[in-house]
Structure 1
C-alpha cells in the first residue's frame, strides 16, 4: 500500500475583542516550525488551501481570516490599524510567541504592524507580493491609493474593483497560463464580497490604504534594525505591485533571498510547485538557526 503524507487540517473560530475570527490550522509535529499566513485582498485564508496541503504535515501552518473577510465577523468600521489590533489579539489567544510570518498583499501592512509592536515574535519573513516601498507601487496603484472620499466618483471607482470581473482579473492578470488558475478562488472571494456590509468595509480600507504608505519608512527602519531572515517570492506580472517592490527589500535586508516568477498577483495559484519547496527549505534553515541560538 502506498503511504501518502496528508496533513490534518482543523477549521476553528476564536473570539478576539468581540470579533469571531475564523482560522485554518495544520497539526504538524509538536516541535515543527510555525508559519503564520496573512492573506491578501480580496481573499481569505482559503487562498492558502493548497499550501496547507503541501506543507502541513511537516510544519504548523496557521491561516486566519481578517475581520470582514472570509468566514470571520464583519465589523461596522474597518481600518488597517483595526485589522492589526484583531490579528495581534488572535496571535496572543493562540499563544504564539515565535513564528515565521508570510505577508502577502494586505498581509504586509497588517504584518508589519505586528512586527513593529512585537519584534520578538518574528523569526523570519516570507514576503510574496507584499509591498513596503514606494518603488513597489505601479502608476495605477499610486492613483488608486491617492483617492479620498471627497474625490468625485472615488467610491464608484473602488466599487468597480469589487465586481466578479474585477476579482477574476486579480487572479488571472499577469499569469503565464490562465488555465492553471482555478476559478474557485475568485468565485469564493466574490461570494464573501457580496455579503451584506462587506463592500463597505473594502471601500473604507481602500481609502485607508494611504496610512500604510505613510508608514513605509518606519517599516524599512524596522527591517534594517532587526534584519530578519527573509525569503521574497514575487509574481512579476502583478499590475499593482510590480517587480521593483521586490528588489527594494534588498536595500534594507541585503541578505534576503529573492525569487521572481513569471506570474501574477496570486503567485501561489500558478507557481505552487516552485514556491512551496523554497518555503520549506527556508523554514527548516530558519528554525535550525533559531534552535542553535537558544
Structure 2
C-alpha cells in the first residue's frame, strides 16, 4: 500500500500592536516559503485545498487582511482601510513571523498588496506566482474600469461600490467563466458572503473599493521593479475573468521575458475549478526556483 501524506494545517493569530491577524500555516519549517495573498471578497480559506496539495513539500503561509476573514476588523474611523495600509500590515506580519525569504502568490487584491511589499522589500522576494493579479492597464476590462472609476467625491461612487457586496455578485465571481460550475464548491462564496454580512464589514469594503484607483498609479513602479529584478515568475490566468483580461497576463512577459505563462479556460477564482492542473505547475516551479 502506498503511503498517503496529508499535511497538518495550523490556524493561528499574530498580534501586531493590538491588531490580531489570522493566518493559516502548513509545511516543514525549514522548507522554501510561499506567502499566499488572497483576493476580494475572500480570505485565506480560498487556499485551503492548495495548502493540502503542497503542504508536505513547502511552508505555505496565508494571512487574512484586516477587515477580511478571521482577522480583526476595526471600524473605518479607527483604522485607515487603504491598499497602502494592507501592505503595511502584511509587511509587519512578515517581520513578526521572521519571514525574510519567500516566494509570493498574488491574486486579485493580493497583487497590489504583494507588489507594494516587493518594491519595499525586494531582498525578501525569491519568486512570484501571479494568478489573475493585474499590474497592467491592458489587463483591465471595461467592467474593471467602471469599478475603478468609483472614487471618493464622485457622486454615486459609494452606492455603486456597495451594490456589488451581495450574494449574487459574490457567487458570480466564483462561477462566472467556469467550464464546469459543478467543480466549484459553494462553500467559498457562502463563507465570503457570511464575512461580508458581519457588522461593519461592508463599510470596510467600500473604503477599499474607493481606493482601488491608487493601484493604477503604481503600475509603472511595479513594472520597473519587475524589469530591474527579474524574479522567477509563474503566471497562471483564468482567461474568462470578467475583471482582469488575458492581455494582462501576457503583459507580464513584456517585462519578464523568462516568465512561464499558463492560461486556463476558467474564470477569476481559477483554483476553484483548475486546482488539479495548477497545483503541479506551482510544485514544479517552486522545486526549480526555490532552494
What secondary structure is seen at the aligned counterpart in 1 of 2:161?
helix
Q: Do the aligned partners of 1:32 and 1:59 also contact (CA within 8 Å) in 2?
A: yes
Q: Do the aligned partners of 1:105 and 1:131 also contact (CA within 8 Å) in 2?
A: yes
1:212 & 1:148 partners in 2: Cα distance? 12
* Deviation (angstroms), 1:241: 0.3
Counting only pairs closer than 5 Å after superposition, residues 147-158 of structure 1 correspond to structure 2 as: 147-158=150-161
Partner of residue 231, structure 1: 234
1:106 to 2:109 alignment: yes
What do you get for the CA RMSD once the two structures are aligned? 1.0
Which residues of structure 1 form unaligned runs of 5+?
A: 289-294
Partner of residue 270, structure 1: 273
2:30 & 2:90 partners in 1: Cα distance? 23
Partner of residue 48, structure 1: 47
Counting only pairs closer than 5 Å after superposition, residues 50-69 of structure 1 correspond to structure 2 as: 50-69=49-68
Partner of residue 130, structure 1: 133
Partner of residue 255, structure 1: 258
1:240 & 1:200 partners in 2: Cα distance? 22
Counting only pairs closer than 5 Å after superposition, residues 171-182 of structure 1 correspond to structure 2 as: 171-182=174-185
Partner of residue 7, structure 2: 7
What secondary structure is seen at the aligned counterpart in 2 of 1:208?
coil
Partner of residue 209, structure 1: 212
1:108 & 1:35 partners in 2: Cα distance? 14
* Deviation (angstroms), 1:146: 1.1
* Deviation (angstroms), 1:2: 4.8
Partner of residue 148, structure 2: 145
Q: Do the aligned partners of 1:170 and 1:266 also contact (CA within 8 Å) in 2?
A: yes
Partner of residue 35, structure 1: 34
1:30 & 1:240 partners in 2: Cα distance? 36
1:168 & 1:57 partners in 2: Cα distance? 31
Q: Do the aligned partners of 1:17 and 1:89 also contact (CA within 8 Å) in 2?
A: no
What secondary structure is seen at the aligned counterpart in 2 of 1:148?
coil
TM-score by length of 2: 0.97
The number of equivalent residue pairs is 287
* Deviation (angstroms), 1:75: 2.7
Partner of residue 90, structure 2: 87
1:161 to 2:164 alignment: yes
Q: For 1:240, which of 240, 243, 260 is the aligned residue? A: 243
TM-score by length of 1: 0.96
What secondary structure is seen at the aligned counterpart in 2 of 1:67?
coil
2:74 & 2:149 partners in 1: Cα distance? 24
Q: Do the aligned partners of 1:17 and 1:86 also contact (CA within 8 Å) in 2?
A: no
Task: Say which is worse superposed, 223-232 or 10-19, in terms of deviation.
Answer: 10-19
Q: Do the aligned partners of 2:157 and 2:210 also contact (CA within 8 Å) in 1?
A: no
What secondary structure is seen at the aligned counterpart in 1 of 2:210?
helix
1:88 & 1:76 partners in 2: Cα distance? 21
Partner of residue 25, structure 1: 25
Q: Do the aligned partners of 2:151 and 2:213 also contact (CA within 8 Å) in 1?
A: no
What secondary structure is seen at the aligned counterpart in 1 of 2:272?
helix
Which residues of structure 2 form unaligned runs of 5+?
A: none
